[in-house]
A = this chain, B = another copy of it.
């Protein structure tokens, strides 16, 4: 049995976040010693690592909760899990695409800027431009 600090070190989740996950119900309340310290065993650490890894993979907390439920449910079909993961891949793809569009637009501006001592700068001209800038403005951020 470990205390919260050891569990944090073993799982890669900070003690602060472990308490937060418990408070929000993502993970079940930890056991307590007679003096009130939280206790964690290997199983709990594994759950924490699960959460950590899923967060690393970009799953929002809500989806992590879904994954945890599937993980705990021995009878679930792997198709359910695969579906969640595929949705997450698509969410990542969408965000990547968005950011690539931003980058392309910005690079275009960078390339058209002399970058010397003169004050003329197409980048600022574009940013302050009088046109509606409808294209990029439509991008949800």
A residues sitting closer than 8 Å to B (CB atoms) are 12, 46-47, 49-50, 52-58, 67, 70-71, 74-79, 81-83, 85-86, 88-89, 92-93, 95-96, 99-100, 102-103, 105-107, 109-110, 113-121, 123-124, 126-130, 133, 136-137, 139, 141
30 CB < 8 A contacts A-B? A12-B133, A52-B133, A52-B137, A53-B127, A53-B129, A56-B139, A56-B141, A58-B99, A58-B102, A58-B141, A70-B124, A71-B127, A75-B119, A77-B119, A78-B113, A78-B118, A78-B121, A81-B113, A81-B124, A82-B113, A82-B121, A85-B106, A88-B106, A89-B103, A92-B99, A92-B103, A92-B106, A95-B99, A96-B100, A99-B99
